[in-house]
Amino acid sequence: MEHELSEEFASVKSIFVRHRNVLMIRGGFPPIYTDYYLHLMQHGLRYPEHFDTTLKDAMAMLTLHLVARPWAETIAWTVNIRTPRVNLFTTGSSLHQQITGRCFIEDIRETDRSIFYSQTTVPDEESRRSSLEVDSTDPLEWTEKLYRHSEQRPGRAFRLPDETFVLLAAQPGYDEQWFTSVDTPDIARLEQTEETRLLETRRFRWDCGCDLDRVLPALGTWRDKPEELFQGQEEITIQCPRCAAKFAVTRDMI
């Protein structure tokens, strides 16, 4: 049975908190999560509950981070978690306003620590990469640590009800005492208690953009040795490295 994506968008607002000099990025993610689950159903995928939740949180935080960054960037996060052993991958484009991701749960190389990698790509420029050692499985904590060590400005992340997330990003001259003391209940009513201004609203959707034509070139090195690839079968299944979508490949395609 085929399942089509809902093509709904998550509304992500960029709000400036006056007198605090803080940027608040807020988004509700049910539309993205709906399309993510439709994708899993379509391709017969299922992740353990903890990994699934962590991946969804990571996609939410990367989306908010993209809105806090310049427009032209594509950012990918890869997190190698030592315990429980899993590799999480999520990537998004601010320009195309899309996000995707997957879990790698088989054949994971054992490591002695958990590492978070961030790669930022801008057209016509060399990619920038940074890495951090992380000591939790919470993407909100990863994001805050990324801001402390790589963004050169503090950031704070919050979970609100109804799959809503908030990222606070400090701006020059920010109110440090307020920034460090604000808590989740404060964030929930912030627009009633603080003077704010809506800067922009973006619409993100869950979408990888992969198809068979994009995946096949990765098999080009097997063109001269198809037996090693197919091992006596007429058809094999390959997966997209970005979203784990499954594609059937036959010998004549190679």
The CATH number of whichever domain residue 123 belongs to comes to 3.55.30.10
Residue 3, in any domain of the structure: no
Are residues 201 and 101 located together in one domain of the fold? yes
Are residues 133 and 247 located together in one domain of the fold? no
Are residues 82 and 14 located together in one domain of the fold? yes
Residue 1, in any domain of the structure: no
pLDDT tens-digit profile, the chain (254 residues): 344 444 589 999 999 999 999 999 999 999 999 999 999 999 999 999 999 999 999 999 999 999 999 999 999 999 999 988 899 999 999 989 999 999 998 877 778 899 999 999 999 899 999 999 999 999 999 999 999 999 989 999 999 999 999 999 999 999 999 999 999 999 999 999 999 999 999 999 999 989 888 888 877 777 777 787 888 788 888 899 999 999 988 877 77
Give residue 7's pLDDT: 54
Give residue 254's pLDDT: 72
Are residues 44 and 111 located together in one domain of the fold? yes
Are residues 198 and 95 located together in one domain of the fold? yes
One-letter amino acid of 186:
D
Residue 2, in any domain of the structure: no
Are residues 57 and 148 located together in one domain of the fold? yes
Residue 100, in any domain of the structure: yes
- CB-based contacts of 152, cutoff 8 Å, min separation 6: none
Are residues 48 and 173 located together in one domain of the fold? yes
Contact 63, 27 (CB under 8 A): yes
Last residue of a domain, one of 206, 225, 244: 206
Residue 4, in any domain of the structure: no
For 194, phi then psi, to 5°, come to -125, 155
For 224, other C-beta atoms within 10 Å of its C-beta total: 8
Give residue 224's pLDDT: 75
Residue 229, in any domain of the structure: yes
Residue 5, in any domain of the structure: no
Give residue 128's pLDDT: 94
Are residues 202 and 115 located together in one domain of the fold? yes
Are residues 177 and 112 located together in one domain of the fold? yes
Beta bridge partners of 24: 15, 168
Are residues 194 and 225 located together in one domain of the fold? no
∠206-158-62 over CA atoms, to 5°?
30
Residue 114, in any domain of the structure: yes
Are residues 146 and 69 located together in one domain of the fold? yes
Are residues 238 and 179 located together in one domain of the fold? no
Give residue 227's pLDDT: 80
Total number of domains constituting the chain: 2
What's this model's pTM, rounded to 2 decimal places?
0.92
Q: Which two tokens stand for residue 16?
A: 């400036």
Residue ranges making up the domain that contains 84: 10-206
